[in-house]
Structure 1
Amino acid sequence: MTFTTDTEAQSHTTTASLAQRLKAETAGEHERMHRLMAKADVFASKERYSRFTLAQYYFQQDVEYLFQHPELAALIPDIEVRGRAQVALQDLHDLGIKPEGHELKSLDAVHPEGLGWIYVSEGSTLGAAFLFKEAQNSLGLSAGFGARNLAAYPEGRARVWKRFVQALDAADFNGSQQDAVIQGALNAFGHFGQMLEQLEQLR
Structure 2
Amino acid sequence: MSLAAISDDRLHAGVDQGLRYRLKAATEAAHHALDERLSQFDLTTTAHYRRFLQASAAALLPLEQALDQAGVGEVLGDWARRRRAEAIRADLADLGGTIVPIDLRGQPLDRPSVFGTLYVLEGSRLGAAYLLRVVTASADPIVRRATRYLRHGAGERLWPSFLSELAREPLTPDDEVRMIASARAAFAVFAKAMASA
For the superposition of Structure 1 and Structure 2, which TM-score range results when normalised by the shorter chain?
A: 0.7 to 0.9
Superposed counterparts of 1:51-200, under 5 Å:
51-65=51-65, 66-70=67-71, 72-99=72-99, 101-105=100-104, 108-111=107-110, 112-140=112-140, 145-156=145-156, 159-199=157-197
TM-score, with length taken from structure 1: 0.79
**Matching residue's letter, 2:109:** V
Aligned-partner Cα distance in 2 for 1:106–1:76: 24
Structure 1 vs Structure 2 CA RMSD: 2.3
Q: Work out which of the two has the higher radius of gyration on C-alpha atoms and give 1 or 2.
A: 1
Q: Relative contact order, CA 8 A, sep 6+: which one is greater?
A: 2
**Does the Cα contact within 8 Å between 1:19 and 1:165 map onto a contact in 2?**
yes
**Does the Cα contact within 8 Å between 1:115 and 1:181 map onto a contact in 2?**
yes
Deviations 1:135-161 (A, max 9, x none): 1102545898311111141543xx210
User: Partner of 1:161: helix, strand, or coil?
Assistant: helix
**Number of residue equivalences:** 180
User: Partner of 2:137: helix, strand, or coil?
Assistant: helix
Partner in structure 1 of residue 35 of structure 2? 34
Aligned-partner Cα distance in 1 for 2:18–2:108: 21
Query: 1:141/1:133 Cα in 2 relative to 1: closer, same or farther (>3 Å)?
Result: farther
Aligned-partner Cα distance in 2 for 1:151–1:128: 7
**Does the Cα contact within 8 Å between 1:58 and 1:85 map onto a contact in 2?**
no
Aligned-partner Cα distance in 1 for 2:194–2:117: 17
User: Partner of 1:56: helix, strand, or coil?
Assistant: helix
User: Partner of 1:187: helix, strand, or coil?
Assistant: helix
TM-score, with length taken from structure 2: 0.81
**CA displacement at 1:116 relative to structure 2:** 1.4
**Does the Cα contact within 8 Å between 2:73 and 2:79 map onto a contact in 1?**
yes
**Matching residue's letter, 2:191:** G
**CA displacement at 1:20 relative to structure 2:** 2.3
Aligned-partner Cα distance in 1 for 2:169–2:96: 42
Query: 1:82/1:143 Cα in 2 relative to 1: closer, same or farther (>3 Å)?
Result: farther
Partner in structure 2 of residue 8 of structure 1? none
**Matching residue's letter, 1:108:** Q
**CA displacement at 1:75 relative to structure 2:** 1.9
**CA displacement at 1:76 relative to structure 2:** 1.4
Aligned-partner Cα distance in 1 for 2:36–2:42: 12
User: Which range moved further: 46-55 or 111-120?
Assistant: 111-120
Q: Percent identity?
A: 26
Aligned-partner Cα distance in 1 for 2:48–2:152: 22
User: Partner of 1:26: helix, strand, or coil?
Assistant: helix
- Gaps spanning 5+ residues in structure 1: where? 1-14
Aligned-partner Cα distance in 1 for 2:141–2:186: 27
